[in-house]
Amino acid sequence: MKKLSKRFSNLSAKVEDRIYSPLEAIKLVQENATAKFDETLEVHARLGIDPKYTDQQLRTTVALPNGTGQAVRIAVIAKGEKVAEAKSAGADLVGEDELVETISKGSMEFDLLISTPEMMPKVAKLGRVLGPRGLMPNPKAGTVTTDLKSAIKEFKAGKLEFRADRAGIVHVRFGKASFKAEDLLENLRTLQESIDRNKPSGAKGRYWKSLYLTSTMGPSVAVDVTALQDMQQEG
């Protein structure tokens, strides 16, 4: 078992064994983000779904109102005039067959991959390398599109794609420790509402099992999901 550092143990001691209100949890996570860099805050939501069934899978996007505070490197696979469109829209990496070949060799210097529909037959062959990293373009996620300009702009501005992993857990960033607590709360509420709105049709029983917030180098804090949902309704 890995031994916890003195720093982490001290921070963990500040977290009580209870469920915190949303804003209280955010402020505690921010207080515990003591690394020498601006830590990213993350949501870890365990849902009552079994993604091995197609009607219990969750994969969608959310546009966080206050962004993520993180630069997103976007690669685009396209051809013809769409290559120029992607470049002018701010894509970090653009290509056709040569980019497909580069990715097939395991080189992925990007955080998000967008493809035009006509290139998807070639991109589909990259499933073995893209799939495990959650980078395969998908129409539902807005990463297979002909409107490259809008897609690149939205993802650069803070739109996120997220999905539940094999255990039914959603892991997604929602801001930086340096953000105002109220802005983080607004991002968190937006994310929660998206998870609820996109509840899989096959989900049975209790949908939200648990919700935890954490920072890159800090301990996790349990959040009262019901309180978060009630805030959404009031808002």
- Regarding whether 174 and 121 lie in a shared domain, the answer is no
Does the structure show a pLDDT above 60 at 220? yes
End residue of a domain, out of 90, 124, 156: 156
Bridge-partner residues for 94, per DSSP? Answer: 76
- Regarding whether 84 and 54 lie in a shared domain, the answer is no
Model pLDDT, residue 9: 74
Query: Using one digit for the tens of pLDDT, what is the confidence trace for 164-201?
Result: 999 999 999 999 999 999 999 999 999 999 999 999 99
Query: Using one digit for the tens of pLDDT, what is the confidence trace for 24-68?
Result: 999 999 999 988 999 999 999 999 999 999 999 998 889 999 999
Model pLDDT, residue 31: 93
pTM of the model: 0.79
Task: Name the helix (H) or strand (E) containing 176.
Answer: strand 169-176
Does the structure show a pLDDT above 70 at 234? no
Instruction: Please state whether 195 falls in left (phi above 0), alpha (psi between -120 and 50) or beta.
Output: alpha
Domain CATH for 179:
3.30.190.20
Buried b vs exposed e over 74-107: b needs ≥16 C-beta within 10 Å?
bbbbbeeebbebbbebebbbbbbeebbeebeeee
Q: Distance of alpha carbon 41 from its chain centroid, rounded?
A: 11
Would residue 39 count as lying in a domain? yes
Question: 219: number of CA atoms within 13 Å, CB side?
Answer: 19
Ranking 1-10, 17-26, 55-64, 222-231 by mean pLDDT, the lowest is: 1-10
Does the structure show a pLDDT above 50 at 148? yes
Does the structure show a pLDDT above 70 at 122? yes
End residue of a domain, out of 156, 174, 195: 156
Question: 230 near 208, Cβ under 8 Å?
Answer: no
End residue of a domain, out of 116, 136, 156: 156
Banded model confidence at residue 157, pLDDT cuts 50, 70, 90: confident
- Helix, strand, coil in percent for the chain, rounding step 5: 40, 20, 40
The rounded mean pLDDT for the chain is 91
Banded model confidence at residue 235, pLDDT cuts 50, 70, 90: very low
Model pLDDT, residue 223: 97
Question: Which two three-digit tokens encode residue 181?
Answer: 């607590």
DSSP structural state of residue 223:
B
Higher pLDDT, 4 or 204: 204
Domain holding 168, by residue range, is 18-68+160-234
